[in-house]
Structure 1
Amino acid sequence: MYKLRLLKTTFYLKDILIKMIIYQNHEIVIADKPSGISVQAGEKAGVPFLTLLEEKTGKLFPVHRLDRETSGLLLAARTSSAASFYSKLFAGGRVEKYYCAVCRGKFNSKSGEITEAVTVHGQEKTAHTSYRVRREFSRYTLLDLTLHTGRMHQIRVHLFQRGHPVIGDRQYGDFKLNREIKERYHISHLMLYARRLVIKEKKIDITLPMPAHFENFLSIFNVK
């Protein structure tokens, strides 16, 4: 299904695929997933990110997921047994997951907890996100976020519930503001990325630098 597109895509990406791999050992691969690429087949059109990575790593097994438009750290396993082990770590809250986002408006407090339930496939699920304001500028806020649970679209839904949707969010966002930013600044990426993964029992602690689309947006306001 993906063979022709994969050949075309990897022709252009083969020189940068290796740079996307941030860490690897005999059990896992941790890579920097770009915005706009689905993790697995079946989400949307296009070659899945894991399929691209397999050109360099061999067979990979999914452990957790990132939304198509979210960039950042993604962990995949090399074997089914490793996938089972690391999936249990994620499900058991033994992996620390940190994100960064730019959202609309300013918060009343510089840090806090969001614990509203989110709806997943028609069912309400408990969810917990911590946030800390890193910078405020103009009409936007740069946030550091900690994901304590891993519900679908959790950060995007939680910030939407608080009236501070993520910039560039096409599902829960401020569509008028997104259109204005695209027309004025030529920026349309979702301003959310998975910046850090910590697995203490495996002595893994990886942090990504800010991606280019974040730097481009923030540079407009001279924010570093």
Structure 2
Amino acid sequence: MKHIIEAKPASHRPKAPEPLPARMAPAVRMLDVDADSAGQRLDNFLMRHLKGVPKTHVYRIIRSGEVRINKGRATADTRVQAGDQVRLPPVRVSEKMAEKAERPAPAREFPLLLEDEHLIALDKPAGTAVHGGSGVSFGVIEQMRQARPQAKFLELVHRLDRETSGILLVAKKRSALTHLQDQFRERETGKTYLALVIGTWPANKKVIDTPLHKYLQPDGERRVRTTTVDDPDGMRSITLVKLRTSLPARPDQDLPTFSLLEVTIKTGRTHQIRVHLASQGHPIAGDEKYGDFDLNRRLPRHGLKRMFLHAWRLQFTHPASGERIELLAPLPPDLACFVPSIP
């Protein structure tokens, strides 16, 4: 539609706004999904193409229906397929964010637990995101791609929270990625974490089967809470808990009793372990979102400077050989020093 605007004398003519730089001007984009991207979740596919766009905004344009696959609406967990055409709405990126997105991640290798021609199993340190996103310029996968420029394919099989350390799988082939992701989706993997919680965990409490509801706070921060089975937005979530040992209270150091747990998740919901354990009155030590904030302020003085959650054991079927694999990542020094008597 054309708009006709009557010209005014120069003295009254408003100053024209400065045009956006070409790279910043928002416009609809159409992306063709190639074979290497086939099988990816839509949210992950978009994040690779919308560098510098906050993760919360990516999810917002998906929910609003502005993102289309072959002209149809889709959800964040829709899997794109080779030949699909994805419509991206106009997305404005600030100059600062665009420059940051164009800046390559620093090359970095991580401690390896297993590597062959199909996959990599690494021991992710705490404090490192698995990928770039909201407020994070880069993560494990971007750093590994920089460290291995000859690698034709490197993709995350699953995720770990930034604050969580431990076993993380990266696929080196598309066939390995889809095979492994199918195992995670069908609950054919075994994912066990070590978590230190506040208080004495009852030894007979072995299963938590409580739905979880994911939501965004007004500031865009992602949060999760327990809900009821009749909540249409609740997702069934199952956590198995085994008490490994108890640590007695240390009154002289103003520290309560702790329990070290082996926690196996049968569903992979966002913040599942953290919210499930906190809902039982036993939050994870050092958890800044769902924990005991007063205790968390004291813990660094005693050597615990982050959340005590570690992806300790992973069991899966090798995508090529069919062999059942079990990997173990020992507690890192920053956690082991807090529970020195634990093997």
User: TM (normalized to structure 2)?
Assistant: 0.58
Name the amino acid aligned to 2:240: S
For 1:105-137, what per-residue CA distance to the aligned partner results, in whole angstroms no more than 9, with x for missing partners?
112225511111111348311011111111111
User: Relative to 1, partners in 2 of residues 1:52 and 1:85: Cα closer, same or farther, differing over 3 Å?
Assistant: same
Rg (Cα) greater in structure: 2
CA RMSD of aligned residues (A): 2.0
Match for residue 143 of structure 2 among 30, 52, 57? 52
Write out aligned runs for 1:134-213 (5 A). Answer: 134-137=244-247, 138=249, 139-182=257-300, 184-200=301-317, 201-213=322-334
User: Relative to 1, partners in 2 of residues 1:181 and 1:44: Cα closer, same or farther, differing over 3 Å?
Assistant: same
CA distance in 1, matches of 2:262, 2:279: 17
**Contact persistence 2:286–2:296 (CA under 8 A):** yes
CA distance in 2, matches of 1:37, 1:121: 23
Task: Confirm or deny that 1:126 pairs with 2:236.
Answer: yes
Q: Percent identity?
A: 30
Task: Confirm or deny that 1:109 pairs with 2:203.
Answer: yes
* 1:187 Cα deviation from its structure 2 partner: 2.4
Secondary structure (helix, strand or coil) at the match of 1:124 reads coil
Name the amino acid aligned to 1:23: L
Task: Confirm or deny that 1:39 pairs with 2:39.
Answer: no
Match for residue 193 of structure 2 among 66, 90, 99? 99
Secondary structure (helix, strand or coil) at the match of 2:295 reads helix
Structure 1: 4+ residue segments shifted above 6 A? none
Write out aligned runs for 1:63-102 (5 A). Answer: 63-102=157-196
**Contact persistence 2:303–2:334 (CA under 8 A):** no
Secondary structure (helix, strand or coil) at the match of 1:145 reads strand
Higher mean displacement: 113-122 or 143-152: 113-122
More helix by share: 1
CA distance in 2, matches of 1:174, 1:78: 40
The equivalent residue for 1:214 is 335
User: Relative to 1, partners in 2 of residues 1:79 and 1:34: Cα closer, same or farther, differing over 3 Å?
Assistant: same
Secondary structure (helix, strand or coil) at the match of 1:102 reads strand
**Contact persistence 1:26–1:78 (CA under 8 A):** yes
User: What are the ranges of 5 or more consecutive residues in structure 1 without an aligned counterpart?
Assistant: none
State the aligned residue count: 213
* 1:45 Cα deviation from its structure 2 partner: 2.1
**Contact persistence 1:38–1:46 (CA under 8 A):** no
More strand by share: 1
User: What are the ranges of 5 or more consecutive residues in structure 2 without an aligned counterpart?
Assistant: 1-99, 217-232, 250-256
**More relative contact order, 1 or 2 (CA 8 Å, 6+ apart):** 1
**Contact persistence 2:303–2:338 (CA under 8 A):** no
Higher mean displacement: 165-174 or 104-113: 104-113
Secondary structure (helix, strand or coil) at the match of 2:181 reads helix
**Contact persistence 1:73–1:208 (CA under 8 A):** yes
